[in-house]
Amino acid sequence: MFGLTKKDTLLLIVVAILTMAAPFLLNPFPSGSAMAQFNAGYPDLMQRFVIYGLFAIGFNLLFGLTGYLSFGHAAFLGVGSYSAVWMFKLLSMNVIPAIILSVIVAALFSLLIGFISLRRSGIYFSILTLAFAQMSFNLAYSVLTPITNGETGLQITLDDPRILGVSRTESGGIPVTNLFGAEMRSTYEMHVGSWLFQFNTGYYLCAVLMLLGFYLSIRIFRSPFGMMLRAVKSNQNRLRYTGLNTKPYTLAAFVISGMYAGLAGGLLACMDPLAGAERMQWTASGEVVLMTILGGAGTLLGPVLGAGFIKYFENIFSKINDTILHQWFSALPDGLEDAMVFLVHPFIGKGWSLTLGITFMLVVIFLPGGLIEGGQRIGRLFRRRTAKPAPDSAPSSTPAE
3-class secondary-structure state, position 275: strand
Q: Give me the amino acid identity at 111.
A: L
Contact 305, 372 (CB under 8 A): yes
The residue segments making up the domain with residue 205 are 6-23+39-281
Query: CA dist 99 to 38, 264, 348, Å?
Result: 32, 9, 36
Q: What percent of the chain has pLDDT over 90?
A: 55
What is the full DSSP assignment across 290-342? HHHHHH-TT-SSHHHHHHHHHHHHHHTGGG--HHHHHHHTTTS-HHHHHHHHH
Q: Report pLDDT for 400.
A: 43
- Check whether 34 has a pLDDT greater than 80: no
Rg (CA), the chain: 25
Q: 207: which residues sit within 8 A by CB, 6+ positions away?
A: 19, 20, 22, 50
Total domains in the chain come to 1
Mean per-residue pLDDT over the chain, rounded: 89
CA neighbor of 145 nearest in space, from 153, 133, 157, 156? 153
Q: Report pLDDT for 398.
A: 47
3-class secondary-structure state, position 51: helix
Terminal alpha carbon distance of the chain: 62
Say if 63 falls within a structural domain: yes
Q: Give me the amino acid identity at 64.
A: G
Q: Report pLDDT for 54.
A: 96
Q: How far is CA 85 from the centre of its chain?
A: 21
| Alpha-carbon gap, residue 265 to 259, rounded angstroms | 10
Q: Report pLDDT for 324.
A: 83
Say if 324 falls within a structural domain: no
Q: Report pLDDT for 401.
A: 37
Say if 211 falls within a structural domain: yes
Q: Report pLDDT for 322.
A: 83
Other C-beta atoms closer than 10 Å to the C-beta of 239 total 16
Backbone angles phi, psi at 176, to 5 degrees: -105, 160
220-271 pLDDT, tens digit each = 999 999 999 999 998 888 888 888 889 999 999 999 999 999 999 999 999 9
- Check whether 388 has a pLDDT greater than 70: no
Residue scoring higher pLDDT (185 or 400): 185
Say if 177 falls within a structural domain: yes
Q: Report pLDDT for 159.
A: 84
Residue scoring higher pLDDT (347 or 206): 206
3-class secondary-structure state, position 192: strand
Torsion angle of the four alpha carbons 319, 321, 324, 328, in this order, in degrees rounded to the nearest 10: 110
Contact 265, 259 (CB under 8 A): no
**Helical H runs in 191-246?**
201-222, 224-241
3-class secondary-structure state, position 65: helix
- Check whether 397 has a pLDDT greater than 60: no
- Check whether 304 has a pLDDT greater than 80: yes
174-223 pLDDT, tens digit each = 889 999 889 999 999 998 888 989 999 999 999 999 999 999 999 999 99
- Check whether 393 has a pLDDT greater than 60: no
Say if 67 falls within a structural domain: yes
Contact 48, 56 (CB under 8 A): no
3-class secondary-structure state, position 168: coil
| Alpha-carbon gap, residue 389 to 43, rounded angstroms | 49
Q: How far is CA 42 from the centre of its chain?
A: 17
What's the whole-model pTM score? Answer: 0.91
Q: How far is CA 325 from the centre of its chain?
A: 30
Say if 169 falls within a structural domain: yes
Q: Report pLDDT for 389.
A: 58
pLDDT band at 306 (very low <50, low <70, confident <90, very high): very high
Of the segments 319-323, 377-381, 391-395, which one has the largest average pLDDT value?
Answer: 377-381
49-81 pLDDT, tens digit each = 999 999 999 999 999 999 999 999 999 999 999
75-119 pLDDT, tens digit each = 999 999 999 999 999 999 999 999 999 999 999 999 999 999 999
Say if 249 falls within a structural domain: yes
Q: Report pLDDT for 392.
A: 54
Q: Report pLDDT for 256.
A: 97
Q: Report pLDDT for 395.
A: 52
Say if 387 falls within a structural domain: no
3-class secondary-structure state, position 39: coil
Q: Return the sign of the alpha-carbon dihedral for residues 74, 76, 77, 79.
A: positive
Partners of 154 in the β-ladder: 275
